[in-house]
């Protein structure tokens, strides 16, 4: 007999009674190993990963996801060899240049989570341009996490609140979850409902530490270049089997 999860793998299909997560966040991992398995340089894997980005952005928009957050480059990724870092930056530039029109046509608003100032000037410029030219798009928000680290984001937010306290705008006792939320890159956005990590590792690697506190976590062995529409649908079908209890008991949820 097939287990429940095996059944899902075989007939993963969305049905009208399923909930589409409002916000999906993805740690796109496994490009390097995907390429190494094919005896190709790591950058070959990153290039193939860009095709997955296109496919997943298109699918998410099509099925009605409102926020899609993609972890593309972490604060720690600056420690990689120079050639890999510059290769990634150049892919990013090409991607943004090529996608600007598609984003506008598909009504997708681009946002960046992370230290924009650390990016090379040419990448920063096309990023700013894309953000500006898509700012009124309402179909879906695509957050690219670039030079992003959850801890750095929290420190930045806490500093902002500390400054407001120092200049008398707020008192320390007024600081609550909402004010910290508002001081993060994701201000005004709902928390992720579903957090996916491809590539087989089961860790957060400094991603959305605050925002993911109640996200359903989904880890898959599939490496990012192989993660396409089919695999995203599978993850959403799994998500629909979860019961989000937020600290309550299952019985309490049934009477609500
Ligand atoms: C994810 O793939 C992409 C980035 C971190 C930029 P990796 O490059 O981490 O691939 P693996 O984990 O080495 O296979
Ligand atoms: C996480 O992947 C960062 C991104 C996907 C951008 P890493 O490959 O950098 O994570 P670790 O080093 O395995 O934790
Ligand atoms: Mg990795």
CA 145 to chain CA centroid, Å, is: 7
* Residues with Cβ within 8 Å of residue 141, at least 6 apart in sequence: 66, 67, 68, 108, 109, 110, 111, 189
Q: Whole-model pTM?
A: 0.95
Catalytic position from the list 55, 77, 106, 181: 77
H or E stretch including 25?
Answer: strand 23-27
How many C-beta atoms surround the C-beta of residue 19 within 10 A? 12
Catalytic position from the list 29, 31, 191, 206: 29
Query: CB–CB of 20/193 below 8 Å?
Result: no
The single-letter DSSP state of residue 20 is P
53 C-alpha to ligand 3 centroid (Å): 16
Residue 130: Cβ-neighbour burial (10 angstroms; 0-12, 13-18, 19+): buried
Q: Which residues surround ligand 3, an ion (CB under 5 A)?
A: 29
The single-letter DSSP state of residue 189 is S
SS3 call for 46: helix
Q: Indicate which atom in ligand 2 lies nearest the CA of residue 76.
A: 9
* Residues with Cβ within 8 Å of residue 27, at least 6 apart in sequence: 71, 195, 196, 197, 198, 199, 204, 205, 207
Mean pLDDT by 10 residues, the chain (256 residues): 50 91 98 98 98 98 98 98 98 98 98 98 98 98 98 98 98 98 98 98 98 98 98 98 93 91
Whole-angstrom CA distances from 250 to 76, 237, 241, 247 are: 39, 20, 13, 9
Nearest CA owner, ligand 1 atom 8: 32
Sheet with strand 23-27: strands edge to edge:
108-113, 140-148, 67-74, 23-27, 194-197, 216-219
Q: Is 11 a catalytic residue?
A: no
Q: Is 77 a catalytic residue?
A: yes
Would you state the pLDDT for residue 149?
98
244 C-alpha to ligand 3 centroid (Å): 29
50 C-alpha to ligand 2 centroid (Å): 16
Give the domain ranges of the chain.
Answer: 22-149+193-242
Whole-angstrom CA distances from 48 to 69, 166, 226 are: 19, 48, 9
18 C-alpha to ligand 2 centroid (Å): 31
- Would you identify the CATH topology of the domain 22-149+193-242? Undecaprenyl pyrophosphate synthetase (3.40.1180)
Would you state the pLDDT for residue 8?
54
Would you state the pLDDT for residue 1?
47
Would you state the pLDDT for residue 9?
54
Q: Indicate which atom in ligand 2 lies nearest the CA of residue 203.
A: 14
Nearest CA owner, ligand 2 atom 8: 29
Q: Pocket around ligand 1: residues whose beta carbon is below 6 Å from it?
A: 28-33, 73, 77, 88, 199
Query: CB–CB of 225/44 below 8 Å?
Result: no
Q: Which of 25, 29, 32 to mutate to test the pocket of ligand 2 (most atoms within 8 A of CB)?
A: 29
């Amino acid at each position: 007999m097939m287990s429940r999860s095996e059944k899902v793998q075989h007939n993963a299909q969305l049905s009208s009674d399923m909930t589409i997560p409002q916000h999906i966040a993805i740690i796109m991992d496994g490009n390097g190993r995907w390429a190494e398995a094919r005896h190709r340089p790591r950058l070959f894997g990153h290039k193939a990963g860009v095709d997955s980005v296109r496919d997943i952005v298109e699918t998410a928009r099509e099925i009605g996801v409102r926020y899609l957050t993609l972890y593309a480059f972490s604060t720690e990724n600056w420690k990689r060899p120079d050639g890999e870092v510059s290769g990634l930056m150049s892919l990013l530039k090409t991607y943004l240049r090529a996608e600007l029109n598609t984003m506008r046509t598909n009504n997708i608003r681009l946002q960046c989570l992370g230290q924009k100032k650390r990016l090379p000037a040419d990448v920063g410029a096309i990023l700013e341009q894309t953000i500006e030219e898509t700012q009124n798009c309402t179909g879906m928000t695509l957050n690219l996490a670039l030079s992003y680290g959850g801890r750095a984001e929290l420190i930045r937010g806490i500093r902002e609140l500390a400054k407001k306290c120092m200049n008398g705008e707020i008192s320390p006792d007024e600081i609550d979850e909402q004010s910290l939320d508002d001081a993060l890159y994701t201000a005004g956005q709902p928390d992720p409902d579903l957090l996916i990590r491809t590539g087989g590792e089961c860790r957060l690697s400094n991603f959305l530490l605050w925002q993911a506190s109640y996200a359903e976590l989904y880890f898959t062995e599939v490496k990012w270049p192989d993660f396409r529409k089919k695999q995203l649908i599978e993850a959403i079908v799994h998500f629909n089997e979860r019961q989000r209890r937020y600290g309550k008991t299952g019985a309490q949820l049934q009477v609500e």
